[in-house]
Chain A
């Protein structure tokens, strides 16, 4: 194959990787961009989720103090979990169980423990995550087919990146000599925009496509019951390790703050930014937080009666493979370094969405235009009238 036709082939592949489903790809990119900052959007719209300081020198309460404050407000409610978000401008997220059977997430002020509100029935964060991640297709037996559909896009995205860099001759020059011609018509502008945003997004597109493909692998592994986890499974506490007591008197559990102290003392490097209280009398108390590696969590499961640490899953416990696989999701969502990382991810998510859009605009203007010109030439050289199929405009595949 000649160099020219090889180049044409790469170009063909690049153009066709997204085109038949480009609108779907665009929506996936846009919903992903929204999902990155969905929590921030909720913060802007819903004051309940904000961690407003009652005074300048207010100190955040401990988890036990928060639970005590909640029980003062609502004595009947049971607290199932407390999560302290990474960013301090968010209120604590507490999982509550109400006597009427509702099991909801609520927001508690970290400085006063007051319940500021219950998460609305329409959870914007969950919705954008579900729409982007699995196209709203429900999970019935294993991973939903929507999950497969969306994660499969990781492969053409990666191929787009590779083929794009191949057809963009000497693309590195674009860094030193950025070109964005605004006054030469839409076709030129979008072409320049596509190339310029493309080279600056190389790292981001590589991260998103590879981590997106990981979600596909994760589903395949999960649906085939292949586990790569090194975490030991201790689903419940053994019967003999849970004390008996007098009838009608629950065996006393150690205070949550004490449990956190035990765990953080015995396990150096363990932070406690979330706690899941035991879900039945034989269930562990789970405490966790981040360690030195910002992308992953460390957890410890404790016997809530004795404080004994039954299971711990620290960074040092993970295999090298787990370091790679568990980093995939946070790298995809940008949810590991606070607000600034999210903003960077959201910005490049927007750029990627614009690249999908500009890619289509270039295609319609370049290919369709070329096709039209070719028709005009064909019609001129014909002696007899030739019936021209009305749908010819979409059939051209070369430039």
Chain B
């Protein structure tokens, strides 16, 4: 014998019984809504639109130079190792063979050993993920260190405000005294 629920016991239950299947529509809207971002990200990873979302400029590093870009035009992302900011770079066309390794650091490095994070990739497109402590001063400089095959070291810098305005905005929002 079928037992039919006579009247919904509360307005909330009535609402739930009426609309629950529409959760499906909501769930289907999710991938549709994210599709533009998916394709934009795919193009970003492939490098179809350049080496990054925002090119910061060229930095002279001794006899060599590189073009620096923000991977994404945003502030640092949270990470278990602290807030991290991703930069991409392309070495100058003539210096690809001459540069052994390239490093990136906020603040002038004390030594080659502590030159910061190392770039991974190829001279045409390489990336590095720099930790950005919350107490970084907003007038900080981003230092690029390049190591030659004979062990020589050259350095150059760019103000962080020029390298990543989004990071400066993020730092201002953090409000931590350096």
Contact = CB atoms under 8 A, between A and B. Distances in A.
Interface of A: 19-24, 27, 78, 80, 97-104, 121-123, 126-127, 130-131, 135-138, 140-141, 146, 149, 225, 236, 239, 244-251, 279-283, 370-371, 373-375, 378, 389, 391-392, 394-399
Contacts of B35: 136
Given A23-B28, A136-B34, A279-B121, A102 B47 contact: yes
B90 interface: yes
Nearest to A248: B98
Nearest to B37: A138
B91 to A, nearest CB: 11
A249 B122 contact: no
Interface in B1-32: 2-5, 7-8, 14, 17-18, 20-21, 23-24, 27-28, 30-31
Contact of B118 (A246, A280, A370, A392): A280
A102 B42 contact: no
Nearest to A139: B41
Contacts, number: 155
B17 A391 contact: yes
Contacts of B135: none
Contact of B38 (A102, A136, A396): A136
Interface in B36-76: 37-39, 41-43, 45-48, 50-51
Given A123-B42, A137-B30, A246-B150, A281 B101 contact: yes
A99 B124 contact: yes
A247 B149 CA distance: 5
A394 B48 contact: no
A149 B26 CA distance: 13
Interface majority SS on A: helix, strand, loop or mixed?
Answer: loop
Nearest to A242: B100
Nearest to B72: A140
Given A249-B149, A371-B2, A102 B125 contact: yes
A245 B152 CA distance: 11
Contact of A21 (B3, B23, B50, B125): B23
Contacts of A104: 46-47
Contacts of A141: 77-79
Interface in B93-150: 93, 97-98, 100-102, 113, 118-126, 148-150
A234 to B, nearest CB: 14
A283 B48 CA distance: 26
A244 B4 contact: no
Interface in B76-91: 77-80, 90
B28 A101 contact: no
A27 B18 CA distance: 22
Contact of B122 (A78, A127, A130, A149): A78
B17 A22 contact: no
Given A20-B23, A250-B149, A378-B4, 13 more contacts: A22-B24, A24-B24, A97-B121, A101-B50, A103-B122, A104-B47, A122-B42, A141-B79, A248-B149, A249-B97, A249-B149, A282-B101, A394-B17
